[in-house]
Amino acid sequence: MKHRLVAALFFFFISYLLPAQSGWLTPFEESGRKESASYRQSNDFYRRLSEVYPGKIKVLQYGEADIGKPIRLVVLSKDGYFSPAEARKNGKLVFMIMNAIHPGESCGVDASMMLVRDLVTGRLDDDLLENVVFCIIPIYNVGGSLNRSCCTRANQQGPVQQGFRGNARNLDLNRDFAKAEALNTHAFIRMYQSWKPELFLDTHTSDGADYQYVMTLISTQKDKLHPVLAEYLSNDLEPALYKSMKEKGFEMTPYVFSVKRTPESGIRAFIETPRYSTGYTALFNTIGFVSEAHMLKSFEERVRGTYALIRAITEEANKDAEEIIARKKEADREVSRQEQFDLNWEPDTLHYRMIDFKGYEASYRKSRVTGLMQLYYDQSKPFTRPVRYYDSYRATDSVRKPVAYIIPQAWREPVERLKMNGVKLYRMDKDTVLSLHCYYIRDVKTLDFPWEGHYAHTDLRVEEEVQEIPVYMGDYVVFPDQESNRYIVEMLEPRAVDSWFRWNFFDEILMQKEYFSDYVFDISAEEILRKDEVLRLRFEEKKAQDEEFARSKRKQLQFIYTHSPYYEKSHQRYPVYRLTEIMTLPLMN
């Protein structure tokens, strides 16, 4: 215990007292550790550092945010490797950090500025970067960062000025990685696909319960991460990080996602689907983390804790760089050949492990505002007790990938996103007809309110048919056998949790375009039933069993119409087709 205290005090001295004598104070430090750097201040700070230390730090631009201002990437390299090609050629692990995706949660903005400063100025030994190249997004949600006020985070202690969660289009950018609508997201995808980091950290501040910890952590959910990476994450990296953070004076716990109202009921691991940053990066075999500094701790403590975590991850990355790089390469190779993919997940409530949790006693008292009973946490009554941690998930749905997906060129949005993510696409060289597997969308459920700009589909059932489909010159062919195999499947398979179908990219197919007039079709329906004995028997059976159907002229004619040659085959037919047999296709050179 004595050694840990000495180490924590030394860490504090190096990180917080020495910089005060250096002339490189951050806005956070200059304000008495109460304010967070603005977009302009952050840009200016990194620009000045790069001018004084050009061999160690470089500021790159990867496009603009929706508000029209640049999104920057700060690259820190001991050896001056400021391009992805140089980093890979020299065997460096790439560690990417995203700050201020939610700009009110800005601990990472200030922690990153101090850590970069300490590394380039020699306050910390740059041997920490012997095997690592840092890629830091100083402020990702530029629009939200510029929209600062005193009061955007009602549940949070500081900083004095806080950014806003929504971006310039009022999108929550941490729900946008699958649908990729924001220009911010386009910029991030360019960064990510250029650098292809082995490790990724997205810095946040928590909501929810009160407890003793400053820092909590979400790791990429192990059951959906490739096994060769999950094994290292669970057995080596996570234990090392928890140990290191305790030694640095910031003991951590897994992110407190309570099973019921309070943590004593148990904690469930958070599963990050592809709409989230680390859910997206997991599709490309990057080990990801989300830091969640606790909202009720002081802003200074949260920044210090985030600084400690970034440093801890960097230390482990530097030590295990060769192994992490090798494991990612192995995962990339295996995923490119993978045949079966899981699409949806649910918590495995039968499996859990016990962890010691340091919380506060929860109770209820009458609110002086509402007069009703209100939950509160009594900080005068701390406790340490074992709680169940449910950190396992199981797949509820899976699919076998096809030989190829055929995407008609009319559907531009998915094609643009595939290209953006480096997916190799081919185009048909002539018109032809192919025997393809088609999905029909059945029993789809849709939100009845707009969420992130969409009336997203939550549940659906599909039926599969084999049909002769006209395919035209210029239509796209996607062979999934590539490193982006998993991304391709999870975006194009409509049942997948964050597929483009669920995000309304294909809603046009859900609306019927051709109809009938009952007084005209009544005559045709009689002739159809006379010629189709099977359909006539099904029709009579349904009338006998369904009273509502038997009383409705429209429903009866609709039944016959939808089973007749007049009914459009394209209604509810998902317009991404599956080729399941190997064949030679006429493709453009």
- Residues facing 201 on adjacent strands: 97, 289
How much of the chain exceeds pLDDT 70, in percent? 96
Specify whether 267 is located in the same domain as 364: no
Q: How many domains is the chain built from? A: 4
pLDDT higher for 208 or 230?
230
- State mean pLDDT over 71-92: 97
| CA 157/CA 142 separation, integer angstroms | 22
pLDDT the model gives residue 365 = 95
Q: Specify which residues 340 forms β-bridges with.
A: 400
Boundaries of domain holding 368: 355-394
> How large is the C-alpha radius of gyration of the chain?
28
Residue 21 has pLDDT above 50, yes or no: no
In a domain, 148, yes or no: yes
**Percent of the residues in the chain that have a pLDDT greater than 90, as a whole number:** 95
The one-letter amino acid code at 457 reads H
Beta strands in 41-102 (DSSP E): 57-64, 70-76, 93-98
Using CA atoms of 549, 550, 555, 561 in order, give the dihedral in degrees to the nearest 10: 120
Per-residue pLDDT at 8 exceeds 70: no
Mean pLDDT, rounded, for 65-84: 97
In this structure, are residues 135 and 197 in contact, taking their beta carbons and an 8 Å threshold? yes
pLDDT, tens digit (0-9, with 9 covering 90-100), for 24-54: 999 999 999 999 999 999 999 999 999 999 9
> Does one domain contain both 435 and 294?
no
Tens-place pLDDT, residues 521-577 = 999 999 999 999 999 999 999 999 999 999 999 999 999 999 999 999 999 999 999
List the beta bridge partners of residue 374: 365
What's the Cα-to-Cα distance from 319 to each of 128, 324, 325, 458, rounded to whole Å?
9, 10, 12, 43
The three-class DSSP label of residue 207 is: coil
Query: Is 584 within the bounds of a domain?
Result: no
Distance CA 254, CA 250 (A): 13
Residues 25 and 171 in one domain: yes
Considering the domain architecture, whether residues 10 and 43 belong to the same structural domain is answered as yes
Q: Give the CATH number, domain containing residue 87.
A: 3.40.630.10
Quick check: is 588 in a domain? Answer: no
Sign of CA dihedral 386, 387, 393, 394: positive
- Phi first, then psi: what are they for 393, rounded to 5°? -130, 155
297 and 446: one domain? Answer: no
Tell whether 367 and 324 lie within a shared domain: no
Note whether residue 342 is domain-resident.
no
- How far, in Å, CA of 202 to CA of 35, rounded? 20
pLDDT tens for 385-418 read 999 999 999 999 999 999 999 999 999 999 999 9
291 and 371 assigned to the same domain: no
Q: How far apart are CA 304 and CA 249, in angstroms?
A: 10
DSSP string, 234-264: IIIIHHHHHHHHHHTT--EEE---BSSSSGG
Range 180-184 contact pairs with CB under 8 angstroms and sequence separation of 24 or more: 180/417, 180/420, 181/453, 182/65, 182/66, 183/63, 183/64, 183/65, 183/66, 184/65, 184/66, 184/71, 184/140, 184/141, 184/142, 184/143
Helix axes 299-337, 238-247, angle to 10 degrees: 170
Is 523 a member of any domain? yes
67 lies in some domain:
yes
Q: What share of the chain is helix, strand, coil (3-state, %, to 5)?
A: 35, 25, 40
Sign for the CA dihedral angle at 413, 414, 419, 421 comes to positive
435 vs 150, 473, 569, CA distance in Å? 61, 16, 15
Q: Are residues 142 and 221 in the same domain?
A: yes
Of 186-200, 470-484, 555-569, the least confident: 555-569
Report pLDDT for 23.
75
Closest by Cα among 26, 233, 240, 187 to 118 = 26
Residue with the larger pLDDT of the pair 16 and 466: 466
Residue 261: what pLDDT?
92
In this model, does residue 9 exceed pLDDT 70? Answer: no
Query: Is 345 part of a structural domain of the chain?
Result: no
How much is the pLDDT for 589? 79
Is this model's pTM higher than 0.75 or not?
A: yes
What is the distance in angstroms between the CA of the first residue and the CA of the last residue of the chain? 67
**Are both 466 and 552 inside the same structural domain?**
no
Pairwise CA distance, residues 451 & 69, whole Å: 26
Give the pLDDT band of residue 20 (cuts 50, 70, 90): very low
Phi and psi, residue 10, nearest 5°: -65, -45
> Is 110 a member of any domain?
yes
Q: Does 378 share its domain with 492?
A: no
Which amino acid is it at 96?
Answer: M
Which helix H or strand E contains 280, and what residues bound it? Answer: helix 277-282
Q: How many CB atoms lie within 10 A of CB 451?
A: 11
pLDDT at 353 over 90: yes
**What is the rounded average pLDDT for all residues in the chain?**
95
pLDDT of residue 12: 52
Same domain, 305 and 254: yes
Q: Indicate whether 18 pLDDT > 90.
A: no
**Same domain, residue pair 183 and 236:** yes
Q: Which amino acid would we find at residue 95?
A: F
